Structure 1
Amino acid sequence: MPDMIEEKICQILAGNSLNDSDEFCDFTLVQQNEDIEAKGIKPKVDSNYVPLCQKTVTYVVAAVLINDNDEVLMIQEAKASCAGKWYLPAGRVEPNENLIEAVKREVLEETGLNMDPISVIMVECASGSWFRFVITGNIISGKLKTPDQADEESLQASWVKNVEDLSLRSPDILPLIQRGRNYKYGQNSPWHSPILPVEWNTEKLLLRLIICIKRKATNRMHILISEKSSLHLPTCEINPNKNLHSTLHKFMVEIFGDGVAQHRPHGLLSIEFSGKQAGDGLCFTTLISFRPPLEEVPIKGKYVWHELNQNVADLITTRLPRNMTIQLNVVR
């Protein structure tokens, strides 16, 4: 069975969907609410919460597109609340739409251009029910929208060298643009290879963990496996009323106890997203590494450390440096 876990890790690193995470959830909303109620606090989210696009969960896509002249594709807003301001092509994902379809649609509607998505370069979340997926790629066809083509989607689109000189709808896009430039030009390398969301049918918001650590005695890498049902990677349900850091911390405490040893969340290795008839859920696979050796990190509950085959350990090691995973930015 551990060999199957290693095979699944390789699938994740290759950008493939596991399509089984909803069967194995170690820390559900029911359990999280029970912990809250035990402290005499009434939970703010229903244990039976279901993510419904544009109703109980909000997914936003934003495109960072940079041409060979180092110009960024920008749009002038038509919405009454921000008319005339400039922003990246962006918008909400619609029901029964996946993330790739959504970003291509938004770019076409707002700029008149057709986009070929290459990779997600950042995911932002303001809570467990609001997510923005920042995607970069290339323009492959179309004609740039001009002012005489203004509509409810945008007033016009333009390639802009110095975005800071524009009257922006919000400066929150400046870090996204800088990250897009860094990715395009390989600044602060190495960088992760292209990672795009893969389709997967689920009605939950899930966080799957690849937790790695080295044994001091052998210097061999191990990963954590849950034994709560069939052996699987530790997985918890994202609380839609909490930020993702809070959900992750509570899950780590559930596994390792209150005094969790020093560890580092590196970022996302994969994004599995539904967006079809079977639900509007998703699953983030997050890479976490411990600084102390295995001998100094006790486990609470039905989890075990598994020593990895050296080839798989090497694959994980290559993803530990900065920028080798998708940045997860929790907006407070």
Structure 2
Amino acid sequence: MPDAIEDKIRLVLDGQILSDSDELCDFTLAQQNEAIEAKGIQPTASSTYIPICHKTVTYVVAAVLFNNNHEVLMMQEAKASCAGKWYLPAGRVEPNENLVDAVKREVLEETGLIMEPTSLIMVECASGSWFRFVMTGHVTGGTLKTPEQANSESLQACWVNNVEDLSLRSNDIIPLIQRGRDYLTGIAAPWHPCLLPMTKPRTKLYLRLIVCIKKKATNRLHVLISEKTALHLPICEINPNRNLHSTLHKFMVEIFGDNVAQHRPHGLFSVEFSGGEGGDGLCFTLLVSFRPPLEEVPIIGKYVWHELPQNLAESLTARLPRNMTIPLNVVR
């Protein structure tokens, strides 16, 4: 069975989908609610929560695209609440729509251009039920939308050198544009491989962890494995009414106790999204590393450390530096 775990980690490192079932969840909303009720605190989310697109969960896509002159593609808003303001091509994912199709649709509707997505460059979440998936890619066709083609989607689109010269709908897109520019120009290289969301039926919102640590006695890298059911990478349900950092912290406490040692969430290895196929859920695979050695990090739950073979350990270690995973930005 450890070989199967190693195969799963290889798949994750290669940006491939895992076949884990929903039944492997180690820390459900029901269990999270029981844990906080034991402390006399009222739960913030129903144990029976189901993500339903446009109703109980909001998914948004945004595109950061550049031309050969390093100008970014912008569109002018038509909505009454922000008419005339400028923003990245972006919008809500429709029911039964996957994320790649959604960003291509938004770019075409708002700018008149055809986009071929190549990679996620950031995922953002505000509470556990609002998610924005920021992608970059190439323009492969279409015609830039002019003011004469204005409609309810947008007034026009154009390539912009300095977005701060525009009247923006919100400044929240400035760091997205900067990250896209850095990624495409290779500043602060190396960067993560190209990674796009993968379609995988999910009925809930999940957070899967790859937790790594070094053993002081051998200097070998180990990863955490759950033994609660079949051996698998630890996975928990995301609380829709709390920020994702809160969900991660509660899960780490569940595994390591209240005095969990210093650790660092790095970023995402993969994004699995239902797109209406078997539900409106998702699963993030997040890389986490401990600073102290294995000998100083006790486990209180049904989990064990598994030593990785050297070649796999080197591949995983190579993904620990900055920019080698997709940032998961928690918006407060």
Q: Normalising to structure 1: TM-score of the pair? A: 0.99
Deviating more after overlay: 305-314 vs 81-90:
305-314
Give the deviation of 1:21 after TM superposition: 4.2
Q: Aligned letter for 1:260? A: V
Aligned pair 1:181/2:181, yes or no? Answer: yes
Q: Aligned letter for 2:138? A: N
Are the counterparts in 2 of residues 21 and 235 from structure 1 also a CA contact under 8 Å? no
In the TM superposition, structure 1's runs of 4+ consecutive aligned residues that sit over 4 Å from their partners are none
1:195 and 1:13 map into 2 onto residues whose CA distance is 10
Are the counterparts in 2 of residues 214 and 293 from structure 1 also a CA contact under 8 Å? yes
Are the counterparts in 2 of residues 86 and 167 from structure 1 also a CA contact under 8 Å? yes
Partner of 2:206: 206
CA displacement, residues 67-99 of structure 1 (integer Å, 9 cap, x when unaligned)? 110100000000000000000000000000000
Partner of 2:38: 38
CA displacement, residues 267-290 of structure 1 (integer Å, 9 cap, x when unaligned)? 001000001231010000000111
The 5 Å alignment of 1:277-288 reads: 277-288=277-288
The 5 Å alignment of 1:234-245 reads: 234-245=234-245
Q: Aligned letter for 2:80? A: A
What is the count of residue pairs matched by the alignment? 332
Are the counterparts in 1 of residues 112 and 145 from structure 2 also a CA contact under 8 Å? yes
What SS class does the counterpart of residue 126 from structure 2 fall into?
strand
2:193 and 2:15 map into 1 onto residues whose CA distance is 10
The 5 Å alignment of 1:156-195 reads: 156-195=156-195
2:233 and 2:45 map into 1 onto residues whose CA distance is 25
Q: Could you list the runs of 5+ residues in structure 1 that have no partner in the other structure? A: none
Give the deviation of 1:42 after TM superposition: 2.2
Aligned pair 1:292/2:296, yes or no? Answer: no
The 5 Å alignment of 1:8-157 reads: 8-157=8-157
1:55 and 1:300 map into 2 onto residues whose CA distance is 37
1:164 and 1:217 map into 2 onto residues whose CA distance is 53
CA displacement, residues 225-266 of structure 1 (integer Å, 9 cap, x when unaligned)? 000000000000000000000000000000000111111100
2:296 and 2:77 map into 1 onto residues whose CA distance is 54
> Share of identical aligned residues, percent?
75
Partner of 1:231: 231
Q: Aligned letter for 1:164? A: E
1:224 and 1:36 map into 2 onto residues whose CA distance is 24
Give the deviation of 1:44 after TM superposition: 2.2
2:15 and 2:99 map into 1 onto residues whose CA distance is 15
Are the counterparts in 1 of residues 202 and 274 from structure 2 also a CA contact under 8 Å? yes
What SS class does the counterpart of residue 141 from structure 1 fall into?
strand
CA displacement, residues 163-200 of structure 1 (integer Å, 9 cap, x when unaligned)? 11000000100000000000000101110010101110
Q: Aligned letter for 1:254? A: E
Give the deviation of 1:13 after TM superposition: 1.1
1:127 and 1:66 map into 2 onto residues whose CA distance is 30
Q: Normalising to structure 2: TM-score of the pair? A: 0.99
1:218 and 1:28 map into 2 onto residues whose CA distance is 35
